Amino acid sequence: MFGLPNRAYDLSPELEFVGLKGVWVRNPLMEVVWFKRDLRTFDHAPLTNAAAAGEVLALYVVEPDYWLLPDTSARQWLFIKDCLNSLRSELEALGLSLTIRVGDMVAVLEALHNERGICQLHSHQETGNMWTFKRDKAVKHWCVDRGIRWREERQNGVIRGLKSRDDWSKRWDEFMSRPKIVPPKMILPADAMPSDRIPDPEELCTNSLACNEIQPGGRPAGFKLLESFLMGRGASYQKGMSSPNTAFSSCSRLSTHLSYGTLSIREVFQASMGRVKKLKESGAVRQGEWLKSLGAFQSRLHWHCHFIQKLESAPQFEVENAHPSYIGIRSESAPKKDHIEAWINGRTGFPFIDACMRALRSAGWINFRARAMLQSFASYHLWIHWRFSGVLLAQLFTDYEPGIHWNQVQMQSGTTGVNLARIYNPVKQGRDQDPNGEFVKRWIPELKRLPNELIHEPWLMTAMEQKLHGCVIGKNYPTPIVDHIKAAQEARAKIYQVRKTRGWIESRDAILEKHGSRKGKS
């Protein structure tokens, strides 16, 4: 007689009861872990669940149709490529190999199921763009059709099927303070499956968008950033985050790692809490500055999930105005080609705007204030529909995170109805954030000989000054593409006019009720 294992104690995946014959044999089906925007093994519930359930296949699917989308680009893929190589090493240390498949997700699942049989599919919940939302629905249907359970786990403070925002913050705190999930030391692998090569960006991406200072991906690179931030750079976070002269080193630069999940947001939050505790205990030098900075940093980790929650609850925010009264205020047909091209190429004639855009093009990253100003300039001064400008910015951001991105894009365009219209004056921003013109001169060499008082308004130079400083406006550097004062006044009037329309207040209240932070921040 075969001794029957006690399932309560023995989680061994090797034996499965096979009905009619009444014997226990090895379960031939695989537990598939689908890695998405969670490219790590630590604090990874789906991997740990799968390991407890059976033989594991670690899967990453490169979906060519995704990489044809206008909000994707080669710089994002290059980062992911690094992450996949790093994930492969992490998995090998646990006894697993990483299976890469290139193709449509449902077709890949069908092929794997036919090749070897899938018992359960494990992944994190994803709040992506409309394309990944639809893809996940197709996967769900496929799983239901095949009788395969798809276990999706939370990986951040975002709650699927959220009914009310009332206790959202409390639930965020509760999730972030839970113990991190440590994977087992060794995981039983499923039989090796053929794996595809990781494609190069030129084989995959429509938008090549070369990046001169590409941010390295992978967990070791993420850790290095986290450590250098918490142990050194972070002290000046609060003071340094607004100016692009300081933000590149004062900000954590963790966004891309959080977007692709090489670090879990919970481990980042807990590491920062640990650092706060140490600072308080040690009475360190610059303690006050440190504590303010880390408090500000932790708020932003909170915002990270707060914004993604909005897209989770309202996926249409990627394509539709959040507040319906703003529908139609900006044309949905293609914007003026010369305006959008000048903006995206850093040739508007406004030095601080152009310097920020050129820096972003080169680095794949720019700080929050610069992002807000760039978006606001396109939406207000150029009166371009945010869909056009938002897609172009998404391509440029290595850290593209749809939930944060589309909500911020709408916020900086005045279409949420719940935020005051923030129209950045490009000259004032330049003077405030780059008073000596250092940043402008670095990114716009055409202006490098201009004195400080002219650097943010080079169009004020006389013909003589232009000659003297080696920059003829309209020839070496563009004439401003709009009158920024007049454009801002007109935009403000149009945006505020909408507030007077019937139903505006009711729609605003409904948005606040569904999506508003209960802390008075939205």
Ligand X SMILES: Cc1cc2nc3c(=O)[nH]c(=O)nc-3n(C[C@H](O)[C@H](O)[C@H](O)COP(=O)(O)OP(=O)(O)OC[C@H]3O[C@@H](n4cnc5c(N)ncnc54)[C@H](O)[C@@H]3O)c2cc1C
Residues found near ligand X in the complex (CB under 6 A): 241, 251-255, 258-259, 297, 300-301, 303-304, 307, 367-368, 371-372, 375, 397, 399-401, 404-405, 408-409, 412
The count of C-alpha atoms lying within 13 angstroms of the C-alpha of 328, restricted to the half-sphere facing its C-beta, is 3
Residue among 123 and 259 whose Cβ is closer to ligand X: 259
Q: Which amino acid is at 433?
A: Q
Residue among 144 and 296 whose Cβ is closer to ligand X: 296
Q: Confirm if 255 and 399 have CB atoms less than 8 A apart.
A: yes
CB of 320 to ligand X, least distance (A): 17
Give residues with Cβ within 8 angstroms of 60, minimum separation 6.
34, 35, 39, 84, 87, 98, 99, 100, 101
Q: Confirm if 517 and 510 have CB atoms less than 8 A apart.
A: no
Q: Confirm if 120 and 76 have CB atoms less than 8 A apart.
A: no
Give residues with Cβ within 8 angstroms of 188, minimum separation 6.
13, 14, 51, 54, 55, 56, 95
CB of 339 to ligand X, least distance (A): 18
What CA–CA distance (Å, rounded) separates 263 from 38?
8
270: left (phi over 0), alpha (psi -120 to 50) or beta: alpha
CB of 464 to ligand X, least distance (A): 40
β-pair partners for 33? 58, 122
Residue among 58 and 366 whose Cβ is closer to ligand X: 366
The dihedrals phi and psi of 188, each to the nearest 5 degrees, come to -75, 120
Token reading at 77: 């893929």
Residue among 129 and 466 whose Cβ is closer to ligand X: 129
CB of 222 to ligand X, least distance (A): 11
CB of 84 to ligand X, least distance (A): 20
CB of 147 to ligand X, least distance (A): 37
What CA–CA distance (Å, rounded) separates 163 from 171?
13
Q: Which amino acid is at 309?
A: Q
Residue among 252 and 425 whose Cβ is closer to ligand X: 252
CB of 253 to ligand X, least distance (A): 4
Residue among 335 and 478 whose Cβ is closer to ligand X: 335
Residue among 390 and 478 whose Cβ is closer to ligand X: 390
What CA–CA distance (Å, rounded) separates 80 from 84?
6
CB of 249 to ligand X, least distance (A): 10
β-pair partners for 47? none
Residue among 310 and 347 whose Cβ is closer to ligand X: 310
What CA–CA distance (Å, rounded) separates 232 from 250?
9
